[in-house]
Structure 1
Amino acid sequence: MKYYSTSRISPATSMKTAVLQGLAPDRGLYMPEWIPCFSSGKLDELKDASFSELAFEIAKPFLGNELDESRLQEITEQSFTFKVPLVRLNNQTYILELFEGPTLAFKDFGARFMARLTGAFAEEDNKLITVLVATSGDTGSAVAYGFKGVPNTRVVILYPSGKVSRLQEQQLTTAGGNVTALEVSGDFDACQKLVKEAFADAELRSSLTLTSANSINIARLLPQSFYYAYASLQLKKKNPDAEIVFTVPSGNFGNLTAGIFAKKMGFPIKRFIAASNKNDSVPRYLETGSYEPHATIETLSTAMDVGNPSNFARMLDIYDSSVRAMSDEITGYSVSDAETRETMRVIYDEMGYLLDPHTAVGVTALGKERAKNQSEKEISVVLSTAHPAKFVETVRETLEFDMQIPERLANVLNLTKQSTPIANDFQALKSLLLSLPC
């Protein structure tokens, strides 16, 4: 399997190079030259597979002969040691709880798999890999925990000062060891821009072996397709006639792109609903055919506060830049903070289910879609991307009670924050990176 850049200038390369580079030299995002398609017979075989077994079968063709199968199997078994609950909300709606991992967020799936795969590749070359990542919240903590202690790696996390929840900040700034947190004076888009500039800088690339752990890295993106595959097969076992629709809270759009991968692989997925907050560049594109990203707007669903999502380049690539082809499979909605809070209240009052603000954006978008297009055959799955305790302040303000915080999160609050303030300036970042000990 070879991987090409969405910018189509850099030459195609191996998975190993794509993972260790993160971003292609031409600043494009790596894509597989082809997406393997599983036959109906193979899908029938996989319907009773465990999550890690299914992950192994999906990952195999993407790795080819670049990694021994026994090592890949070890990686999938070690990465996915937690449950993936599919909770029934009502007859036509399920919540896929993706927050059972170590940091209680969906990004544990990608970060843990990528950390182990990167470690395996770094071990082969006996080199130190510097993992550079921008975060709007959960990516940073997932990457910090995923890479902590992994040999031959060190992690540098850039996060926007004052724009992540306290629990998220505590998680990503207290890992220590081979993890460094940089508190940037700016928003997420500023952090992401600094990371991209670092990858484009010749001096940094010659001095350090840089890679990214954002969803721009194909190794972060690929494992997110695993839970789409798993959930769709589980639902098909329960209801063979179901037409499965995934509603995806979307910020940088890596999660939705991974779902498109799963659909292209042949898993039983009918279509997607892209649920955005007021950072709605993609929903507006789906409606108008014009992509006009704007400056990031702060919202309650902070991890989705991305004005110019990187993975939109992959989406354009998959659909050959055709808005019609994309909109045939994806419907987009923008959700306000007021609507987010109202959905949190209604779902808790009527069903006793507690939503974090990101999942509430998804549930709200699904409601808007059903008001326009209702089908008795469709079963909808809303991806629940984070445990509500990670947004305890928003839960308190919205529902007017203090929820119990899981012990593993409560313990983090007692640790000492360790971060380095940094200006929104590339030269400041470059100097810091070059001063890191070898």
Structure 2
Amino acid sequence: MKLYSTNHQVPEVNLKEAVFKGLPDDNGLYMPDHIPTLPQSFFDTIETLSFQDIAFEVCKALIGDEVPEKEIRSIVDDVLTFEAPVIKVEDNVYVLELFHGPTLAFKDFGARFMARLMSYFLQKEKTEIMILVATSGDTGSAVAQGFLGREGIKVTILYPSKKVSDLQEKQLTTLGQNITALEVLGTFDDCQRMVKQAFLDKDITSKINLSSANSINISRLIPQSFYYFYAYAQAKKLGRKVVFSVPSGNFGNICGGLIAKKMGLPIEMFIASTNLNDIMPTYIKTGIFTAKPSVATISNAMDVGNPSNYPRVIELYNKDIEALRKNVIGKVYTDKETAAAMKAVYQSTGYVMDPHGAVGYLGLKEYFKETGIDATGIFLATAHPAKFIEVVNDIIEKDVEIPARLQEVANKKKESIVIDNDFEKLKAFLLK
């Protein structure tokens, strides 16, 4: 597996180098030089395969001979120890629940896969690395859990102060061991900017073996394609076209789906559903990409004003906006619309959506209304509603049951280091 930078200013690298480097020196993002198409026979019988079997075939095709098949199988089996069920909500409307992992968020797939893949590469070298990551909510806790206690790996997490939910914060500030949480006095975009600067700072990289666990790391992106194949396998028996609505912030999740489509998965359309941080829907509509300061919403994990995976999305379509529009449309929703959808769906069906899933639901419903298409619509539920319990309880006017693993962390003491949204402060901390 060879990977190139989306800025095309540096040489290609192998998977191992891309995983540990995280970000190319030209500030692009790593992309596979070739995305293979899976054989039709795979799709003909996909509904008979387990989640692990599907993921193994997809991963093997993407990675090639860089990791032995036996190791790929071991990694996949170790990562996918929980389900990703497709559940009916309304006629033609289904939800893909991606919150059954250790931290109750879809980020568990990518973080666990990355941790296992890095451990495989590191076991032969006896070297130490530092994972440096920015989070708008769930990435931090998933990365922390995925790497907790792993020998030779330290983790430093930047998160925006008072801009993640209480339970999200507790999940990433209560672990200790090899995990350090930096509470940044700023926005997620500030955290992301500081992390990117660190990777491009020669003074830091000459002294510390840095690697990223954000969605900018290719090893986070690969497993995000797995559950699209598995969702399709579950929906195939319904005999209709399949449409995915993806609540979107940094656009890593939908990028995983677009890679799945490039590999042959027969998806009719992707709906990139966002809150008021509408950078990508605006780009899809106008062809103009303009980053801007993020706006705080109740779907906080999507409060991203400069989506990191934009270069990958356009690279998949050779920067051809018309080709992208054939596969992806963008939809934008306010907090008021999101809350109304959460309340209405709960009252009519009893299903509890978190604010991010609700944005995906709205995108799906609007697409059906506009097109009248006869399809199986699947929106992604990216986190358990209890992770946003204050917001959810207030909207549906009922107390959501808190899973035991969240109740346990809620009672632990938060431990974080507060820093300004100033790269020099981060640099000083890392070099100290």
**TM-score for the superposition, normalised by structure 2:** 0.98
Q: Please tell me the residue identity of whatever aligns with 1:332.
A: G
Paired residues of 1:233 and 1:268 also in contact (CA < 8 A): no
Among 415, 418, 430, the alignment partner of 2:415 is 418
CA distance in 2, matches of 1:363, 1:47: 25
Other-structure match for 2:241: 243
Q: Please tell me the residue identity of whatever aligns with 2:427.
A: K
Deviation readout 1:160-208 (Å, 9 max, x if unpaired): 0000000000001112111110000110000000000000001111111
Deviation readout 1:230-276 (Å, 9 max, x if unpaired): 1112211x133x11110000000000000000001111211100000
Give the Å deviation of 1:10. Answer: 1.1
Among 323, 348, 351, the alignment partner of 2:349 is 351
CA distance in 2, matches of 1:418, 1:196: 24
Other-structure match for 1:222: 222
Paired residues of 2:86 and 2:94 also in contact (CA < 8 A): yes
Trace 1:239-318 onto structure 2 (pairs within 5 A): 239-240=238-239, 242-318=240-316
Q: Please tell me the residue identity of whatever aligns with 1:270.
A: E
CA distance in 2, matches of 1:180, 1:193: 19
Other-structure match for 1:106: 106
Other-structure match for 2:125: 125
CA distance in 2, matches of 1:89, 1:217: 33
Q: Please tell me the residue identity of whatever aligns with 2:76.
A: T
Give the Å deviation of 1:61. Answer: 2.8
Give the Å deviation of 1:45. Answer: 4.1
CA distance in 2, matches of 1:375, 1:424: 47
Give the Å deviation of 1:55. Answer: 1.2
Give the Å deviation of 1:124. Answer: 2.2
Verify: 1:137 aligned to 2:137, yes or no.
yes
Aligned-residue RMSD, C-alpha: 1.0
Paired residues of 1:116 and 1:150 also in contact (CA < 8 A): no
Structure 1: where are the runs of 5+ without partners?
A: none
Give the Å deviation of 1:117. Answer: 0.4
Verify: 1:427 aligned to 2:424, yes or no.
yes
Q: Please tell me the residue identity of whatever aligns with 1:428.
A: K
Paired residues of 1:197 and 1:426 also in contact (CA < 8 A): yes
Give the Å deviation of 1:360. Answer: 0.5
Paired residues of 1:343 and 1:360 also in contact (CA < 8 A): yes
Other-structure match for 2:72: 72
Trace 1:23-422 onto structure 2 (pairs within 5 A): 23-236=23-236, 238-240=237-239, 242-376=240-374, 378-422=375-419
Q: Please tell me the residue identity of whatever aligns with 1:182.
A: L
CA distance in 2, matches of 1:249, 1:315: 15
Fraction of identical pairs, as percent: 49
Paired residues of 1:278 and 1:299 also in contact (CA < 8 A): yes
Deviates more, 1:145-154 or 1:160-169: 145-154
Aligned residue pairs total 432
CA distance in 2, matches of 1:57, 1:175: 34
CA distance in 1, matches of 2:416, 2:425: 15
Q: Please tell me the residue identity of whatever aligns with 2:87.
A: V
Deviation readout 1:59-92 (Å, 9 max, x if unpaired): 1133222222222211111111011111011231
CA distance in 2, matches of 1:245, 1:285: 21
Give the Å deviation of 1:402. Answer: 1.8
Deviation readout 1:321-343 (Å, 9 max, x if unpaired): 12211111101011000000000
CA distance in 2, matches of 1:258, 1:102: 21
Give the Å deviation of 1:93. Answer: 1.1
Deviation readout 1:36-76 (Å, 9 max, x if unpaired): 11111122344322111211111113322222222221111
Q: Which SS does the other structure have where 1:195 is aligned?
A: helix
**TM-score for the superposition, normalised by structure 1:** 0.97
Give the Å deviation of 1:294. Answer: 1.4
Q: Please tell me the residue identity of whatever aligns with 2:38.
A: F
Give the Å deviation of 1:403. Answer: 1.6
Structure 2: where are the runs of 5+ without partners?
A: none
Deviation readout 1:338-395 (Å, 9 max, x if unpaired): 000000000000011000000011111112222211112x111100000000000001
Paired residues of 2:158 and 2:191 also in contact (CA < 8 A): yes
Deviates more, 1:143-152 or 1:304-313: 143-152
Q: Which SS does the other structure have where 1:125 is aligned?
A: coil
Q: Please tell me the residue identity of whatever aligns with 1:239.
A: L
